[in-house]
Structure 1
Amino acid sequence: MIRVIVVDDQTLVRQGIRSLLDLTDDIEVVGEADDGMAALAAIEEHAPDVVLLDLRMPRHDGIWVLRALRERADDSPPVLVLTTFDNDTLVLDAMRAGACGYLLKDVTLERLTRAIRVLADGGTLISPSITDRLLRAVRRRRPADDDLPAIQRLTEREVEVLRLVAEGYSNREIAQALFLAEGTVKNHVSTMLLKLGARDRTNAVLRALHANILD
């Protein structure tokens, strides 16, 4: 079972998501929280595999939660941002703070469960539409001076893998798409992160967006 915590300040939203996920055989909601402080406490108590996180909440919001998790140990669970706020700056801030995926609340159950499974499997979920929004937001900010040289150190295969990472593919899906062993893909991802000096897959995608290789 994939253990999930739902963080949202609206009770009906939390209950709705729980009811929908109860329809699945492999996903279980093990906890809920209505603000950032409660979210950290619930994560500590339940050790979920994935956190569904709203961004706009009273007191401590979703960005605060992401930054707090980033400062913790490396075993912090992956976070899927689930929000009604379709805002370029929020998307970018959430990704910079460590979110592994971003969906709007009008998403279908099928797409939501797929996203949860991708994150639980170690992947990211950045759909093409969200990638476009990130690209526009990144271009409005000054890129890091060392992004381009880092990108240029990537091999052609590593760039292929990075493009699929940006589209939300898990290692298993990348292996299937490129006809590679999953272990080979893991090696490519590790080398890619090392070359880019990226702390995780999302940060690697942001660096690629800076260098305009995901157009």
Structure 2
Amino acid sequence: MVKILVVDDHAVVRSGLKMLLEGKAEFQVIGEAADGDEAIQAVNALRPDVVLMDLNMPQGKDGLTATAELKKLHPDVAVLILTMHDDDEYLFRGIHAGASGYILKSAPHEELLTAIRSVSAGNAYLYPTATKRLMGEYLEKLKHGDSTNTYETLSDREKEVLGLIAKGYSNKEIAEQLVISVKTVETHKSNVMEKLGLRTRPELVKYAVKKGLLSFE
């Protein structure tokens, strides 16, 4: 069962989300919070699997600040931003803060459920129109010969995970070597694949070979 914390400054919104989610046997809403400060306290106490995070909350910390702090304190907790802002700036800031997903409040209920399932499994989720826009920008850069070194967008830990994957280590072996959870390894792997535009483990290995990352010293 996926344990969920709902964070929104509107009590009516929290109640509606709770009713929707608790109507599904696979989900359990274990807590609510009205702002970012309450969200951090609730995660510390309750340890949910997924935090549904609003962005604009007038009192306390906003959703982006709370997301960044939560990911530092609890990297295993997936944050799914649920907002009214269909805006690239908020989208990129949310991803940069460490959110695993970004979905609009206007999305159909089934899409929200799909997004929660996705991020709880360690994957990323973006609402369809955002994905289409991002793909369009990526293809446009390719067409104009963009030379950005995508490898440098990876964090140090993501580079470590990429190198170990390329050397043939399983997710469990990587987790043991880096002293992190298997779920965290899967999250790093998902982030690496998203940033590099890769889809399979063999593609990661091929990329690593090209980058000269297979030193076994």
Q: What are the superposed Cα offsets for residues 166-198 of structure 1, whole Å, 9 maximum, x if unpaired?
A: xxxxxxxxxxxxxxxxx99969xx9xxxxxxx9
User: Structure 1's 108 and 145: CA in aligned 2 closer, same or farther, altered over 3 A?
Assistant: closer
In structure 2, how many angstroms separate the alpha carbons of the residues matched to 1:50 and 1:114?
A: 13
Is 1:42 matched with 2:45? Answer: no
Higher RCO, 1 vs 2 (CA within 8 Å, ≥6 residues apart): 1
Q: What is aligned with 1:177?
A: none
Q: Identity across aligned pairs (percent)? A: 34
TM-score by length of 2: 0.65
Q: What are the superposed Cα offsets for residues 25-75 of structure 1, whole Å, 9 maximum, x if unpaired?
A: 110110000100000011111110111001111231111011102322433
Q: The residue matched to 2:3 in structure 1 has which SS? A: strand
C-alpha contact 2:150 2:195 (8 A) present in aligned 1 = no
In structure 1, how many angstroms separate the alpha carbons of the residues matched to 2:192 and 2:151?
A: 14
In structure 2, how many angstroms separate the alpha carbons of the residues matched to 1:24 and 1:53?
A: 20
User: Structure 1's 207 and 94: CA in aligned 2 closer, same or farther, altered over 3 A?
Assistant: farther
Q: What is aligned with 2:19?
A: 19
- 1:146 maps to a residue whose letter is N
Query: How far off is 1:123 after superposition?
Result: 1.2
C-alpha contact 2:4 2:48 (8 A) present in aligned 1 = yes
Q: What are the superposed Cα offsets for residues 75-127 of structure 1, whole Å, 9 maximum, x if unpaired?
A: 3x101110011111000000111111111011222111121111111111124
Q: What is aligned with 1:60?
A: 61
User: Structure 1's 149 and 36: CA in aligned 2 closer, same or farther, altered over 3 A?
Assistant: closer
Q: The residue matched to 1:122 in structure 2 has which SS? A: coil
Q: What is aligned with 1:146?
A: 149
C-alpha contact 2:122 2:190 (8 A) present in aligned 1 = no
C-alpha contact 1:55 1:81 (8 A) present in aligned 2 = yes
In structure 2, how many angstroms separate the alpha carbons of the residues matched to 1:89 and 1:27?
A: 30
C-alpha contact 1:91 1:134 (8 A) present in aligned 2 = no
Is 1:205 matched with 2:194? Answer: yes
Q: What is aligned with 2:70?
A: 69
Query: How far off is 1:206 after superposition?
Result: 4.3
How many residues of Structure 1 are paired with residues of Structure 2 in the alignment?
167
In structure 1, how many angstroms separate the alpha carbons of the residues matched to 2:106 and 2:119?
A: 19
C-alpha contact 2:104 2:127 (8 A) present in aligned 1 = no
In structure 1, how many angstroms separate the alpha carbons of the residues matched to 2:116 and 2:169?
A: 24
| Larger CA Rg, structure 1 vs 2 | 2
Structure 1 residues 107-186: aligned runs within 5 Å: 107-134=107-134, 145-147=148-150
TM-score by length of 1: 0.65
Q: The residue matched to 2:37 in structure 1 has which SS? A: helix
In structure 1, how many angstroms separate the alpha carbons of the residues matched to 2:28 and 2:131?
A: 29
Q: Which runs of 5 or more structure 1 residues have no equivalent in the other structure? A: 152-157, 159-182, 191-197, 210-215
